[in-house]
Structure 1
């Protein structure tokens, strides 16, 4: 269940890690942001499963506005620096909060799947899922880092990542808005 609901995060993580250019501090911020965002997804899912509807179903598609706005901001930054001789903007600007917001906003489908599963699993089952999912986040981060550190991928992400990130974020935002019916 974790892998199916988070497969799209793999691309996002690879892009974020690809832009770190080997900076351990930036990589740690990406990992922490992933954990904060996924922790929020789990929190909302647990609360939802326990009967408190934290987010109405109609609000979930509008989570797509977060990655859309972040993507537009990243695209604006790329546009501003298009004629600069400096290195292109990189993930050093992507803080924990930015990664967390992208992760959370991209987790509307996760919440929709986790709430009913958690509700029937009971407290002990829910705790088991939470532990396994948190381990899954570590595995996902490791795979994202691995993909981003492959020479061919790393070279591509280093060269094109500053352009790929806004496209991916805008794409995720629009997809969430469209699939959720926010634009209909």
Structure 2
């Protein structure tokens, strides 16, 4: 399985933080076992606007936990946080349930969805295929995951969609939610849209 750790950060100097992240933090993530790393910043998202998200994927939860310990022992972490006026405001763990397309693009959106029942693996992949059939012409890629250690958000689903054109993304999203099959699945599993945010990829 693939796991994703999301670290939320507020920084007075987000440009400086992104530069530091690109120069040494991202390579360090990879050295310590991350299989992918990215840094994004919320553009629109209510009180989360301006918050950066460092997202890294791992093949195991243990590897993710060991990385966190080893990174915190690196003096550059504290130095960078102090220099850029940065503060970590949250850290969550999710398990990746599906991926379609290319997970790249200058922009993207994150949907958080609650549900009252759990789909099977087969149902999850079928819904991902159906959604991609609608969204694939409008976006670059979609990743869906489920929170497994995220405080009060544990159990919620997150859909991250990647694009180079936000108007196309929103047009595809409108088609998806207007689709009768999507509506039936949402009713079947008790899905409710909790929040949507729009982000820009920094690194």
TM-score band by shorter chain is: under 0.3
TM-score by length of 2: 0.24
Q: Greater helix share, 1 or 2?
A: 1
Q: Which has the higher contact order (CA 8 A, sep 6+)?
A: 1
Q: Greater strand share, 1 or 2?
A: 2
